[in-house]
Chains A and B, each alone.
Chain A
Amino acid sequence: AQSVTQPDIHITVSEGASLELRCNYSYGATPYLFWYVQSPGQGLQLLLKYFSGDTLVQGIKGFEAEFKRSQSSFNLRKPSVHWSDAAEYFCAVGPYEKLTFGTGTRLTIIP
């Protein structure tokens, strides 16, 4: 069975600081991996996705993620966060027709 673990429930970072959100997955084959962001009371917006190829994936809003098969990880990074990045972040593993989501990481940005 596929599963996703996001170890950090809540992370607080200062505006302008770097960010890394952790995601570990369990999947029987080459996974489809996704990061979504959810603002309060809103649906999910796709940040980036990995299907194959280059293990460093660039997404929107300056985010990137690196697929590490040996560690079963797909961590999300951003070199410098902005106050508008405060939201809930979800990692998900595919296949695309049956995504399994992690429990999410809430990101708080302090001035």
Chain B
Amino acid sequence: GAVVSQHPSWVICKSGTSVKIECRSLDFQATTMFWYRQFPKQSLMLMATSNEGSKATYEQGVEKDKFLINHASLTLSTLTVTSAHPEDSSFYICSARAPGLGDTQYFGPGTRLTVL
């Protein structure tokens, strides 16, 4: 139980284009989803927290207009990297939680974004 998926697992795009990453909770309803960014050989940095039906809360230093987060349903959240640049290349990981599953975040497998 508590499985989270991400799609795509790997994406390459040209500089200036936008990329959408999906995060789905497969066997539970996620009231809250989180988006992290992980640079090579580094830890995870929380980018934003989203609650279903509400606007996402972004961490300090994260550009809201560049990283658009939508949490339209209890099983799906999307992260859109707009006008991507090479410095946006990173590993993006989502996680989700549900009250019935305790105070724990369950993580997706991650999406590797490479911007050329």
Q: Please name 20 further chain A to chain B contacts, defined as beta carbons within 8 Å, in addition to the given A43-B110, A95-B103, sorted by A numbering.
A: A34-B104, A41-B112, A43-B6, A43-B93, A43-B107, A43-B108, A44-B44, A45-B107, A46-B104, A96-B97, A96-B103, A96-B104, A96-B105, A101-B43, A101-B44, A102-B43, A103-B42, A103-B43, A104-B42, A104-B43
Q: Is the interface of A mostly helix, strand, loop or mixed?
A: loop
- Cross-chain contact A46 with B106 (CB below 8 angstroms): yes
Q: In the complex, are the beta carbons of A36 and B107 less than 8 A apart?
A: yes
Q: List 15 A-B contacts (CB under 8 A).
A: A36-B107, A41-B112, A43-B108, A44-B93, A44-B95, A49-B104, A51-B103, A97-B32, A97-B49, A97-B97, A98-B49, A99-B46, A99-B105, A103-B42, A104-B41
Chain B: residues with Cβ within 8 Å of the partner, total of 21
Contact-size category for A: 20 to 34
Complex CA–CA separation, A94 to B105 (angstroms)? 10
